[in-house]
Amino acid sequence: MLKSMSLKSLVVTGAAALTIAGQAHAYEPARSAECIAPANPGGGWDFTCRSVGKALTDLGYIKGNVQTVNMSGAGGGVAFAHTVSKRAKDDALIVAASTATTTRLAQGQFPGMNADQVKWVGTLGADYGVIAVGKDSKYTSLTQMMDALRGDPSAVKFAGGSASGGWDHLKVLITAKEANVGQLPKIRYLAFSGGSEALVQVVGGHIDAFTGDISEVKGFMDSGDLRMLAVLSEERLPAPFDAIPTALEQGISSVAPNWRGFYVPGEASQDSYDWWVNTMEELYQSKEWKDIMAKNGLMPFNKSGADFTQFVKNQTLNIETLSKDIGLIR
């Protein structure tokens, strides 16, 4: 039975970031690098690759450019398999990852693959989950929506950028469970290849509600096309997101942080891995990155190297247990 732990216990916060600015690196990076975003343009992984890639070039860590390559499919599984099977020794490749990645690994959705087949670099913040509807929706609060689901678990159709059973889907199921909605498998969820595709369907009135992350919604929020029902954070986010009520405020104990980070191929050289770990640490400490975080609703969350690797293993185990409790896997 799922304990009322919200999702806070899936993420260990508060680790102090290690300041290593100015550290000499033995590894000389390639002039250009590639960042694989395991989804179509416009979603969270795409944002991670493009914003980090630009910052790395702007700050001179990469002398040429960081090319973002969108590789959607299987909730990140296509990109993971490509990295493991075809790019295993590529020192100039990073792949965007998040809690969605550990969710799919925890549920065995990447057949024959596991977290030990890649090297985990680090995180650059956490992106909190949101539940939103189109501006003309009849739903004006999360509690109103949960009331409808208690009456009929199939009453609301949700859209998200992760695969069925993935992190976006899981956020809705856990929120519904915390709101005492029964028959969770009957909740309708449509999986799209990225958050932007799901948002277009919701804004267009074709699907009732969006489940995703705060970094994905700002454009539609600013235009007034999206009504934010809840952010799944412990407390309200800072401006420009401070008008969005939390689920906790509405009596629903759902907290869903989605860390944003990277892995590299499992057989990448130790020197290149160390360079990526140290570089991402320095980037996280920079004013440029802190400005990007503030603008896009990313909250502080920093783990790297061995600490991050252990965190991934622990989170994967926790999500596996959670998925069994909710009935997503056996």
Model confidence pLDDT, tens digit, residues 73-90? 988 999 999 999 999 999
Model confidence pLDDT, tens digit, residues 239-291? 889 999 999 999 999 999 899 999 999 999 999 999 999 999 999 999 999 99
Instruction: Say whether both 123 and 16 belong to one domain.
Output: yes
Model confidence pLDDT, tens digit, residues 192-210? 988 999 999 999 999 999 9
User: Is residue 100's pLDDT more than 70?
Assistant: yes
User: Is residue 9's pLDDT more than 90?
Assistant: no
Looking at 250, 282, 303, the residue that finishes a domain is: 250
Instruction: Say whether both 246 and 133 belong to one domain.
Output: yes
pLDDT bucket at 1, cuts 50 / 70 / 90: very low
- Report pLDDT for 99: 94
- Report pLDDT for 129: 95
Whether 262 contacts 87, CB under 8 Å: no
| This prediction's pTM | 0.78
**pLDDT, averaged across the chain:** 90
Tell me the CATH number at 170.
3.40.190.10
Residue 106, domain member (yes or no): yes
Q: Cα-flanking dihedrals φ and ψ of residue 36, to 5°?
A: -90, 125
Residue 1, domain member (yes or no): no
Count of structural domains, the chain: 2
- Report pLDDT for 280: 98
Give the C-alpha separation, 200 to 220, whole Å.
9
For 298-323, what is the mean pLDDT? 92
Whether 215 contacts 297, CB under 8 Å: yes
User: Is residue 25's pLDDT more than 50?
Assistant: no
Structural domain boundaries, residue 179: 129-250
Instruction: Say whether both 14 and 41 belong to one domain.
Output: yes
Give the C-alpha separation, 233 to 223, whole Å.
23
177 closest CA partner among 210, 139, 140, 150: 150
- Report pLDDT for 26: 56
